[in-house]
Amino acid sequence: MPEISDALSETALRKLTVPQLKAFCKERRITGYGKIPKDSIIAKLLQWQQNRAPSQSATDPVPTHSVPNDVTQGTTSFAIPPETAGSAMVKSNIVKSQLRPAGVDGQEASKKARFHELQKNTTLSRQNIINASHRPSDEGSSHQVAAVNNTPQTPLELPSTIYNPASASTGPPTSTPASALSNKRPSTKVATLQGDSNKKFKLNVPLPQPRAVVINYKAQRESTPKDRGKAPGSKPKKRFVPLVPMSGLPATVPLQITGHSKDKTPNVKLQPLAETYRYLDFETSNFNIPLNNISYPPSLSQRKRIPQLALILSDISYNDLKSCATVSRFFRYAAATRHLHRHFSGKRTEEILAQYPTDRTNFWPYLLYRQHEAANRRRVYEESFLGHALKGTCTIKQELWSSPRHERQATIAVRFLLTKMYYDISVGGEDESKVQQTKRGTVLNAERIVPDEVWKITFLSEKALQVFYVLEPTCEVIGHAEISGRIAPSHNLRADWSQYIAMKTANGGPECTNGLWSKINWTNHEEFDRGISKHWLSRIAKEGVIGHAKLEVARRYIFACVVCNSVSGTWQSATEMCQDFNGARKPRLTVAHKAHRVNLFLPAHHHVESVHFNLGRNEALHPALAVIQTPSREYYVLRDNGMQVGCEEDGIAPTWKQILGT
């Protein structure tokens, strides 16, 4: 097929087929040939060839000499700075150029004579320019340059890496390092040559090649006034200047003085709040990994042996099963379900097993998830201050670490031990031996009674088996459950608590819609909501997870600071508790028995204004503690149950300092 550049005649085009003609049109980038007949395509090609012939002649290279030999008038001035003569910073401004047609043969002889004379003057003038650049000159001095060039020359092209028209007018000079470090920009001098003739001609003077000088303009701009006065040959002390945010620095202080100071670096290393806002409050996460069917199952006739093999293989460890599975397919049915029933039996396991067929599903991912969850929670507890303080005295049953019936079983068991240790330290006892007997024990079970409010704890001590009703926010005991068998002498649930729990568990009654949080009685309803500052609530609503964690600590503190009769002891109304707290209690009148309601009275000096997880900008707080700001003072409290361990005036109690290890 002919090339694109080949010109075809109409006869040659008619010998081609329509697809070949369309291919020619496509190669020549001709449009509009898709749905037209053959004659129209040939006409388009012929028209394209005719239009292409003059365009090729127009694109031929143009001679570089655009200035004719016969020039009547023309002036060329060169702006040459004295310090940079012979360098690339030359600014050529053509003032006026009127060209005359070059067709007169009578002036050829005179032109050649003038050219030889001007060539001598040009050599001397160029030397004068170079010599003048090394002499100081005044601002207003200038010399006229007049020259004639008889032969056409290509205009002088400067290297782009040395000369930049945009930077030549604004950037610093590039002649010497001394001029680069100078604070003043040198003035530009105009030097011209004056010839004998009045006529002026354009002259392209070949300037000497300058010496390339590399200057770091960024370092020059960032240098201090003290550095600008240094000698050109001196080297800076440091190659790089440290990055310092300029927002907080005074405008008069130089960069090198305001660098990072090692002496002012805080010694305390703050941990991110996202990692420390929880201490012994274990997070609950639902298992969202899909369980797949077992790969490479045996035949249908052999699947009846799966239950027996699963029971036998349930004693093989997980690491050994990896090797056994490569020997036989039966080991792929090693009983993950048997492990779940044996070690993780409970409501959580039953819910997962009900979602998948147990004989064809691979439950090993879920089993490993439960094992990792239990091991991680136990490790966190043993590494905490509570695990070190209760080591060898109080323990938690192994099954509770996996939270078999509810996700928060392990959290409530740990919180119960924390509150128990708090009261053992605060109250103590007269007989040390009896106190030690009550301190030792094991948490056997934690059962949820009222969602998010009341739990039942089974605790086995050296003396007896005890069952307590506790509040979830603080794990304070509100009463004992009635059980048969060994039990220490104790008081049962108070009437108001018993009635409240009965209403909640029966899913009926007017109090079912309202929780314990609605039972809080407080003063100053204008500024506080359930004892918490309304302004602070609006602020933490924008903090996300951290704000929610602070709100939980504030609620635990409020439940821990209600008057003691609110939780246990003799029942009192909110008014009676307020009068007792203010010292204006009146004799109680005997009234007819009526159904009591739960009253939780919060004194005014325990209203929460804010909660903080650190002491200041550069001072960290123990991850188990929080600071509660009240109208009267600040309190140091435990995050997990909200109970006080110190105040603003006295600091943290010495006993708790020793326990916390601070």
Beta-carbon contacts of 640 under 8 Å, excluding residues fewer than 6 positions away, are: 279, 280, 281, 414, 415, 418, 556, 624
- Measure CA 283 to chain center: 22
Residue type, 49: Q
577 by Cβ neighbours in 10 Å (0-12 / 13-18 / 19+) ranks as buried
Give the count of beta carbons closer than 10 Å to the beta carbon of residue 479. Answer: 20
Tens digit of pLDDT for each residue in 152-205? 444 444 444 434 444 444 444 444 444 443 444 444 444 444 444 444 444 454
Query: In this structure, which amino acid lies at residue 650?
Result: D
Chain position carrying tokens 């100071």: 261
* Residues whose CB falls within 8 Å of the CB of residue 378, separated by 6 or more in sequence, listed in order: 401
The pLDDT score that the predictor gives to residue 235 is 53
Which class for 69: exposed (0-12), middle (13-18), buried (19 or more C-beta within 10 A)?
Answer: middle
CA distances from 112 to 109, 118, 151, 526 (A): 5, 10, 10, 106
Compute the distance between CA of residue 438 and CA of residue 430 in angstroms, rounded to an integer.
Answer: 13
How confident is the model at residue 110, as a pLDDT?
62
Tens-digit pLDDT profile for residues 218-262: 444 444 444 444 455 555 555 544 444 444 433 333 333 333 333
- How far apart are alpha carbons 247 and 233 in whole angstroms? 34
What is the residue-wise DSSP string for 381-443? HHHSHHHHHTTTTEEE-GGGGG-SS-TTHHHHHHHHHHHHHHHHHHT--S-HHHHHHHH-EEE
Phi/psi region, residue 545 (left: phi>0; alpha: psi -120 to 50; beta: rest), is alpha
Contact in structure between 620 and 269 (CB atoms under 8 Å): yes
pLDDT number for residue 172: 45
Residue-range domain boundaries for the chain: 10-55, 71-96+110-218, 300-509, 516-660
Give the chain's largest Cα–Cα span: 144
Amino acid 455: pLDDT: 93
Axis-axis angle for helices 409-426, 432-439 (nearest 10): 170
pTM of the model: 0.56
Pairing of strands 441-450, 454-461: antiparallel
DSSP three-state, residue 498: helix
Q: Are strands 520-521 and 600-601 parallel, antiparallel or unpaired?
A: parallel
Residue 531 phi, psi dihedral angles, 5° rounding:
85, 5
Tokens of 656: 């708790």
The model's pLDDT over 329-375, given as tens digits with 9 standing for 90+, comes to 666 666 678 888 888 888 998 988 888 887 778 888 888 889 899 99
CA-closest candidate to residue 225, choices 258, 183, 257, 185: 183
Residue 223: the pLDDT is 46
Residues contacting 444, CB < 8 A, separation 6+: 397, 400, 458, 459, 460
Residues of the chain with pLDDT under 70: 1-6, 54-276, 295-298, 302-303, 328-335, 428-438, 482-491, 507-513, 579, 581-595, 617-618, 662
Name the average pLDDT for the chain: 69
| pLDDT of res. 384 | 92
**What is the per-residue burial (b if ≥16 Cβ within 10 Å, else e) of 370-396?**
beebbeebbebbeebbbbebbeeebbb
As a whole number of Å, the CA-based R_g of the chain is 48
